[in-house]
Amino acid sequence: LGTLIARKLLDTRIITVASPRYVAEHGKPGKPEEVTRHQRIMFYNPVTAKPFEWEFHRGKKVTEIPAEGRLLVSDVETMLGACIAGAGIAQVMEIGVEQVMRDGLLVDL
Residue 52's domain is classified under what CATH number?
A: 3.40.190.10
Numbers of helices and strands, H then E, in the chain: 3, 8
Residue 10, pLDDT above cutoff 90: no
Question: What would the pLDDT profile of 57-78 be if each residue is shown by its tens digit?
Answer: 888 999 999 989 889 999 999 9
DSSP string, 38-68: S-EEEEEETTTTEEPPEEEEETTEEEEE---
> HSE (CB half, 13 Å, CA atoms) of 90?
28
Residue 83 lies in a domain: yes
pLDDT (0 to 100) of residue 96: 83
pLDDT: which is higher, 48 or 4: 48
Residue 12 lies in a domain: no
Mean pLDDT to the nearest integer, 37-46: 95
Residue 65 lies in a domain: yes
Residue 74 lies in a domain: yes
Residue 90 lies in a domain: yes
**What domain range is 81 assigned to?**
20-108
Residue 76 lies in a domain: yes
Q: How many domains does the chain have?
A: 1
Residue 13 lies in a domain: no
Residue 8 lies in a domain: no
